[in-house]
Structure 1
Amino acid sequence: MGSSKRWATTISRTASSLYFVLIFFQIPLFRVGCRGTLCTTPLELTCSQLLASEAFPVYVVKSILYPGAIAKAIFKNKPIPPFNSLPKLYKFIHVKPTASPLTSDLHRLEVIAGSYLAVGGGMMGMVRAGGGRMSLFGCLIAMWGIVWRKSSYLNPNKEISQIYPTMFLALLLAFMSVRKDVRRIVRTLKPQSNPLSSSNKTKRK
């Protein structure tokens, strides 16, 4: 009992940490239009919506984006971008609220909702247990939105949307970060002791 719980806790914590790195260091998971530009990560899509709605101060959104911007610059062997240039770097400079902010986003509403859940689950998973299921639902909803709406009538421009293979890795990590589900799997894979053999040993003694 104790060993399965320890294994499940270790696996879920490791998966949560890897999922956090995948989301907050902005590893491309998909490609979808977001207010005049293309977003390839749930964090980019979430931040573009936050800037458009002005729900959070700009410096908070920049702080969320900055670790990924640094990682991208290092990976591409480019200079680290200044903190204040992030909206322009991500082409969010023209993102402004409109009279009906969701009108242009109806055809990707599931992707937006899934991205919010994916980012929120990643943050919650690092603070306390319980973010794994939110991350899992977020990845599933985002994938469903891209696949189902790709040829939908709500997408009149038939914009190019795509799911990258790394999205399936994020989905796997999100699933493995759910400790209860991992514990069930560990219990299933754990070899069960044979009660007949144990009773025979007792009789021999």
Structure 2
Amino acid sequence: MATKGWASKVSAISARVYFFLIILQIPLFRVPCRSGMCTTPIQVTSSQLIASEIFPAPVVKALLYPGAIVHGLIKNTTVPRWGDLLEIYNLNAMKEASPVVDLHRLEVLAGSYFCVAGAIVGILKPGRMSMFGTLLVIWGLVKEGMLGKPVNTDPARAVYVYPTMVLALICALSSIKYDVKKAMRAAAARPIAKPVERSSKSKLK
């Protein structure tokens, strides 16, 4: 019981740390996106949501506002206005922006969606969504940064991974609940195959 309680605490703490990393927009990477250069999964997700109009603008602003407050207090010691959020993140002209940038980075885009959704859902019930999202983002960054797909000749728009990405990955993996005792009971409950008994005819022979 003590092991199970300790594992649950680690999972809950990791899920909360991951939530704050995502929702407060701590820079995890740098990659070109529709709005310019995105450094967090929320920025990648917000640019796509505004461009596709999947969710209304107030919902996207609600995602951006906590991180905007933190960055505003750090940089200018001021709280940004709600009405200026789209302008601050360069999201006003998303409909006219070319979707080619996002199509070249589908792993980063899909992974960012999972990261944001996993961070929010993980506060209530930690799961594997955060892990899948983080691994997808990392694979997309590795594919572009190391394998050169797509090729980028502009150093100012080169892909970069911040050390905080390692922390995000550790938190995503640690937030998964795994009950060792339950797994052992399930393994023990599996029926053991019995050897086939020889027929009576074979015994007579």
Give the TM-score band, short-chain normalised.
Answer: 0.7 to 0.9
Relative to structure 1, is the Cα distance of residues 37 and 102 closer, same or farther in structure 2, using a 3 angstrom cutoff?
A: closer
**Residue 15 of structure 2 contacts residue 175 of structure 2 at CA under 8 Å; is this kept in 1?**
yes
State the match for 1:85 in structure 2: 84
Relative to structure 1, is the Cα distance of residues 177 and 153 closer, same or farther in structure 2, using a 3 angstrom cutoff?
A: closer
State the match for 2:73 in structure 1: 74
* Consecutive aligned runs of 4 or more in structure 1 exceeding 6 Å deviation: none
**Residue 107 of structure 1 contacts residue 149 of structure 1 at CA under 8 Å; is this kept in 2?**
no
TM-score by length of 2: 0.80
1:92 alignment partner, SS class: coil
Deviation string 1:109-148 (CA, Å, 9 cap, x unpaired) is 1111111111111011012232xx1111111110110111
TM-score by length of 1: 0.80
State the match for 1:31 in structure 2: 30
* 1:97 CA drift (Å): 5.7
Whole-angstrom CA distance in 1 between matches of 2:41 and 2:119: 11
Corresponding residue pairs, total: 178
**Residue 28 of structure 2 contacts residue 161 of structure 2 at CA under 8 Å; is this kept in 1?**
yes
* 1:23 CA drift (Å): 0.3
* 1:154 CA drift (Å): 3.3
State the match for 1:122 in structure 2: 119
State the match for 1:136 in structure 2: 131
Q: Does 1:154 align with 2:150?
A: yes
Of 163, 166, 174, the residue aligned with 2:161 is 163
> Any unmatched runs of 5+ in structure 2?
181-205
1:129 alignment partner, SS class: coil
Whole-angstrom CA distance in 2 between matches of 1:36 and 1:155: 20
Larger radius of gyration: 2
State the match for 1:64 in structure 2: 63
> Any unmatched runs of 5+ in structure 1?
185-205
2:37 alignment partner, SS class: strand
> Which amino acid counterpart does residue 55 of structure 1 have in structure 2?
I
